[in-house]
């Protein structure tokens, strides 16, 4: 049985832009997967393909969920990687949104399936939308790190000279390497989330990722309700921080750093999060997945 299940004829697609989101290491504060699901609903996208989870997950680590459906029947929900198509008449291209779970096993096989889907859909460019923990000011505009395989796309997305990162990587890094080797244009965008705020999903980060995703594919991104939710969220965060002297002192320090940055040269996205920070975050995530305490 083919693990890639195609549910619709893909022959008539108009060089779609593919936006991918994964839960897992690339989903700090639950921002990426929430943004993916929001985009699917907002664009009224319909499922066109999915990858069967059987070969790619340790179900002892990523357990299926039991829930009751609309008919009050109990059903099992397995880890899913699904792909949704939106045909926007005002655009000259289609939009595909991938919402999935970073696999535990057979990464090379998984990326081969992703390449198969990309080729069948005649994808024009692939952009992954992720989020990582960083030491950033919660009240400042969300900053983005990232890289792109194409210099022009890198400039368009404001990614500076690109990433020089070396070290441990995740599924997103493996996937972009595969796309590059097969001469497909791709980019990786990461929203920098304040590590000292554990709310999931972070509405400010989700709104920032949704906006960037829609801007990339050429669609408007005006969401007054989400903007109001973000304002209320920041007010609640400010109240909570004021009651914690240690975090409040750290936020004051970040505010001073932000003020100096605003009055000096513009910081490029890669100046915000270093390769060492990214590697440390991946190692921390892997320890958590294995249930190991800090320091081991």
- pLDDT of the residue at 263: 61
- pLDDT of the residue at 254: 87
The pLDDT-based confidence of 194 (bands split at 50, 70, 90) is very high
Rounded to two decimals, the pTM is 0.85
Mean per-residue pLDDT, 23-35: 93
The pLDDT-based confidence of 293 (bands split at 50, 70, 90) is low
163 and 150 Cβ atoms separated by less than 8 Å: no
Is pLDDT at 244 greater than 50 in this prediction? yes
- pLDDT of the residue at 270: 36
- pLDDT of the residue at 161: 54
Residues 6+ apart with CB under 8 A from 138: 194, 196, 197, 204, 234, 237, 241, 251
Mean pLDDT score of the chain: 86
110 and 32 Cβ atoms separated by less than 8 Å: no
29 and 193 Cβ atoms separated by less than 8 Å: yes
Higher pLDDT, 59 or 293: 59
- The CA–CA distances, whole Å, from 248 to 220, 239, 252, 255, 275 equal 36, 10, 6, 10, 27
Counted residue by residue, the chain has a size of 296
Other beta carbons within 10 angstroms of residue 20's beta carbon come to 25
- pLDDT of the residue at 208: 96
Q: Spelled out in words, what is the top-level CATH class assigned to the domain 4-223+267-290?
A: alpha beta
- pLDDT of the residue at 235: 92
Higher pLDDT, 157 or 57: 57
């Amino acid at each position: 049985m083919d693990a890639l299940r195609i549910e619709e004829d893909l022959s008539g697609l108009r060089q779609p832009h593919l936006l991918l989101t994964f839960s897992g290491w690339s989903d700090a504060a639950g921002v990426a997967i929430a943004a993916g699901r929001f985009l699917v609903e907002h664009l009224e996208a319909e499922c066109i393909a999915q990858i069967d989870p059987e070969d790619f997950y340790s179900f002892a680590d990523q357990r299926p969920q039991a829930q009751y459906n609309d008919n009050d029947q109990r059903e099992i929900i397995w880890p899913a990687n699904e792909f949704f198509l939106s045909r926007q008449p005002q655009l000259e291209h289609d939009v595909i949104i991938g919402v999935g779970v970073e696999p535990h096993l057979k990464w090379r096989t998984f990326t081969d399936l992703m390449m198969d889907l990309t080729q069948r859909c005649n994808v024009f460019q692939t952009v992954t939308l992720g989020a990582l923990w960083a030491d950033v000011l919660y009240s400042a505009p969300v900053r983005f790190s990232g890289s792109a395989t194409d210099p022009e796309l890198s400039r368009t997305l404001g990614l500076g000279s690109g990433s020089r990162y070396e070290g441990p990587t995740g599924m997103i890094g493996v996937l972009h390497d595969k796309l590059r080797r097969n001469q497909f244009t791709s980019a990786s965008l990461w929203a920098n989330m304040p590590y000292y705020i554990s709310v999931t999903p972070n509405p400010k980060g989700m709104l920032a990722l949704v906006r960037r995703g829609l801007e990339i594919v050429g669609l408007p991104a005006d969401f007054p309700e989400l903007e109001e939710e973000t304002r209320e969220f920041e007010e609640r965060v400010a109240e909570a921080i004021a009651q914690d002297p240690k975090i409040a002192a750290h936020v004051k320090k970040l505010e001073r750093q932000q003020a100096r940055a605003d009055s000096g040269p513009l910081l490029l996205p890669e100046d915000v999060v270093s390769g060492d920070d990214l590697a440390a975050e991946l190692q921390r995530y892997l320890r958590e997945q294995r249930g190991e305490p800090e320091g081991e």
